[in-house]
Structure 1
């Protein structure tokens, strides 16, 4: 992903008119910038991202996205770029992406009562492995600052990605160069915890295909290792999707689009009825 200065088009292009349409006046149902997934949640939650609900890309989010890109290229031994909707020129178009956030614990972890049928005991999987990545981040001048990203397999995912058993727990990556001043780098968060799963659809970004110019073709199919890839940033007991992998579009950064509760949105929209003033004398 390009650093934010390369995305800053203020003063270089005229202001574009805001898109109009039926998506424009949709209410912002949640006041949170993430979806609450408490440790006791055992159900899949449907969320969605809305093009009309986003926060601006910042230099800090650009650093975070480049850390993720650096890590994924190390894990997959490849050279992929994480792109943003702004870089693809679809940030001002209307779209929605629906995702299913897996529960933090599998249903089999739920307690059973003495009257319930006892399933045969199944040997539990080994504890989920966590990978720690230390990355020296270099400002435009001066010494680098070490940042650390802890990557965990999602506890609610039915399958642990293969590379958790192939990589060592501790990993030190090559230098990540940035165009920022030492003072700005010193102000950044130096520790992140993200969850990773491969539970998405291979074409989970398909709703965006028609918006691309030109639309992706079969020749654009990316490495299979990122099919259905989903990265989530932990914020207390809440999760926020940050990167999605797609077989045609590759890796897309969506960390500045707050997830919306689809069930709450549906209930709100279905409950909207016209209100009439009672005027009978």
Structure 2
């Protein structure tokens, strides 16, 4: 488990009604073969994580990471480990990761029954999952914390656990080395979103920088977590916290600030500077 030493106490359009004469009225003919683009496509934005845009990995972030690790271990019924960039010595290297933020709202499904597969109709609806976790300090009684897990609204496939797991689960005790005074000051309720739209090797830009000795022997990484992306949902904003990769495993990136847009490398900037633009 990942534990960090705790610090001391710590343009508006008018709504005019247009008059249309009956003579010019034309009925709207809907073609059954037409396709409507999802409104979720307009919500997607690209961000990147930069090795330079990070904050110190704190004990509070460590508790949050271990809550996620505890829940994932319960889901797959096997011990999982979430690495930190500091643990893999990635915090001393220069790297950039590109991600797309999933939509925060789910589009209402108004499809007709004739377009829905029979097996989809029989499957129970996906639900949010609530995990209650007693967090044990270094001494004293456990402090109850809750992790709310939601599926990705923009993904066409919802993981089966959102159909099969009970809505509420009570997990075993999560033991920590922190004093009760510190844990009592922490956030006790977190909401995360599970997204499996990433590539299995989404952390490939980090391979050349990773301390491979830190991840050797961890060949039991489940296939369903290849390309996993876990987002923290707060104030209707999603920020990446954990990324899954077939070679590195699970990596905690919750202390890296997401940057919107595409960064321009020095090579690209030099190439653009030497380009000659002409107008016809």
Does the pair score TM above 0.5? yes
Show the counterpart of 2:261: 262
State how far apart, in whole Å, the 1-side matches of 2:92 and 2:59 are: 20
Q: Which string of whole-angstrom CA distances, capped at 9 and with x for unpartnered residues, describes residues 9-38 of structure 1?
A: xxxxxxxxxxxxxxxxxxxxxxxxxxxxxx
- Counterparts of residues 133-144 of structure 1 (less than 5 Å): 133-144=131-142
Show the counterpart of 2:146: 148
More deviation in 220-229 or 192-201? 220-229
Show the counterpart of 2:11: none
Q: SS of the residue aligned with 2:5?
A: helix
Q: Tell me the TM-score normalized by structure 2.
A: 0.74
Show the counterpart of 1:49: 49
Q: SS of the residue aligned with 1:55?
A: coil
CA displacement at 1:168 relative to structure 2: 0.7
CA displacement at 1:222 relative to structure 2: 2.6
State how far apart, in whole Å, the 1-side matches of 2:96 and 2:172 are: 36
CA displacement at 1:109 relative to structure 2: 4.7
Show the counterpart of 1:245: 244
CA displacement at 1:3 relative to structure 2: 0.5
The answer for unaligned runs of 5 or more in structure 2 is: 8-38, 274-280
The structure-2 alpha-carbon separation of the partners of 1:221 and 1:175, relative to structure 1 and needing over 3 Å to count, comes to closer
Show the counterpart of 2:229: 230
CA displacement at 1:235 relative to structure 2: 1.4
Q: SS of the residue aligned with 1:87?
A: coil
State how far apart, in whole Å, the 2-side matches of 1:203 and 1:195 are: 20
Q: SS of the residue aligned with 2:169?
A: strand
Q: SS of the residue aligned with 1:132?
A: strand
State how far apart, in whole Å, the 1-side matches of 2:157 and 2:146 are: 25
Answer whether contact 2:47 2:98 (CA < 8 A) is retained: yes
Show the counterpart of 2:101: 101
The answer for unaligned runs of 5 or more in structure 1 is: 9-38, 112-117, 275-281
Larger radius of gyration: 2
Q: SS of the residue aligned with 1:47?
A: strand
State how far apart, in whole Å, the 2-side matches of 1:140 and 1:119 are: 56
Q: SS of the residue aligned with 1:5?
A: coil
CA displacement at 1:71 relative to structure 2: 0.2
Show the counterpart of 2:14: none
CA RMSD of aligned residues (A): 3.0
More deviation in 189-198 or 96-105? 96-105
State how far apart, in whole Å, the 2-side matches of 1:241 and 1:99 are: 9
The structure-2 alpha-carbon separation of the partners of 1:41 and 1:49, relative to structure 1 and needing over 3 Å to count, comes to same
State how far apart, in whole Å, the 1-side matches of 2:40 and 2:197 are: 20
Show the counterpart of 1:198: 196
Answer whether contact 2:104 2:238 (CA < 8 A) is retained: no
Answer whether contact 1:46 1:262 (CA < 8 A) is retained: yes
CA displacement at 1:141 relative to structure 2: 0.5
Show the counterpart of 1:188: 186
Match of residue 172, structure 1, among 170, 177, 186:
170
Q: SS of the residue aligned with 1:72?
A: helix
Q: Which string of whole-angstrom CA distances, capped at 9 and with x for unpartnered residues, describes residues 29-83 of structure 1?
A: xxxxxxxxxx977342111100000011111100000000000000111111000
Answer whether contact 1:48 1:260 (CA < 8 A) is retained: yes
- Counterparts of residues 81-120 of structure 1 (less than 5 Å): 81-105=81-105, 109=108
Paired positions, count: 231
More deviation in 120-129 or 204-213? 120-129
CA displacement at 1:163 relative to structure 2: 1.3
